Structure 1
Amino acid sequence: MTKLVWGCFQWVGFHLIREWLDDGETVIGIDIANTEQKETLEMFVGRNTNFSRVESVEEALNVDAGECIDALIALDDQQHNPPFEKLREISASHYFRVNVDGASRSTQSWTTIELPHVYGPWMTSESTSITEKSVYVSDITPVIKSIVTQPWDTDLIKVGMESNEERNDKCIAPTISLEKGMKMLKDHQKRFPSYYY
């Protein structure tokens, strides 16, 4: 199975592609490694034979993805504005928009996965935005991975601490406490200080 991820070096997208690659999945990433931060992230996956990166939708249209792309995932936040209409030209079984920061965009024929506030290694926003309701990234990625493995008959799946079955919300039970998550984040920042500036 092949996953195509637009914004593969957006930090949540990076966590997703690493997990899929660790699972032995094939991943095609669309992103431009035009910053030191993105170049750093590419170093961690660039030599994996199951990963290939292109810089545009046009390049992705020319990639031989084998039999089929089973899921196209577009990471949507303030720094990444996916070209949804153009991405739909890529043949995929399912199309998912991962709403990372509440950005509201029209995405007809896409299933939106709305995330709570997420934090963790490689995040590019200030850690001052982290609250008791924030969720560590390793608690979110398995939920996203499970969502994209199945078809949905809804255009919105809200991921959070509480579930509303009528709306197909996905309830998560975080395993990383805020105290532990903040310690892990600070340790990561000390280990890779140049990434965080």
Structure 2
Amino acid sequence: MPRPVLLSMWPAVINPKPQRFTTISTWKGRATFAWQGVESGEKSDNWLQVIDLPAASGQAMEIALRIDSKDALGDRAIFEDRDWIITDPSLLRSFEDYRDYIGQSHAEFSVAHNRYVEFNTGWFSDRSALYLASGKPVLVQSTGIEDHLPTGKGLLTFSTTDEALAGIEAINADYEGHCQTARAIAKQYFDSYRVLTEILEQIAD
């Protein structure tokens, strides 16, 4: 069941001026495991696959990235040496901070934790739902969400760096169209009134 979003608290904020693709993410730290011979891996594994994306695309890209303090200096340099903008997620202290950060973004770009990718779970981030609600196009790594949500406009997925580059290009080529579709997806699939009604109906059955 999708995460319910109270749309009145997440109004669409569409600004056509070129800005940064952003996300809020962790780097690494969860326990890994193997299942049926497949390694779960770390989220960092997938960030490293797209590490050269800002230079390759010419698109400004920012991550509010939580990095363990003991690894912060070296791990932060991995991104900054390749033109990523790294900010401190602890600065997003309030609901308003969080909403404003998303609202000031051009779009979202993010990878998924490798376990969601490897096992094709169909996982979709609560955070990405809020980007959609804010009228922000979302470009995220495929976890099998294509079976559950409409993709291709407003919400795009990628499995390779070339697909990520194509997604960035597509969003920038028809930015307002992608913004409008993003908000429409949020209304259709994440509106709290719709989602909670479906939950209550299932409970009643």
> Structure 1 length as normaliser, TM-score?
0.43
> Structure 2 length as normaliser, TM-score?
0.42
Structure scoring higher RCO (CA < 8 A, sep ≥ 6) equals: 2
| Higher share of residues assigned strand | 1
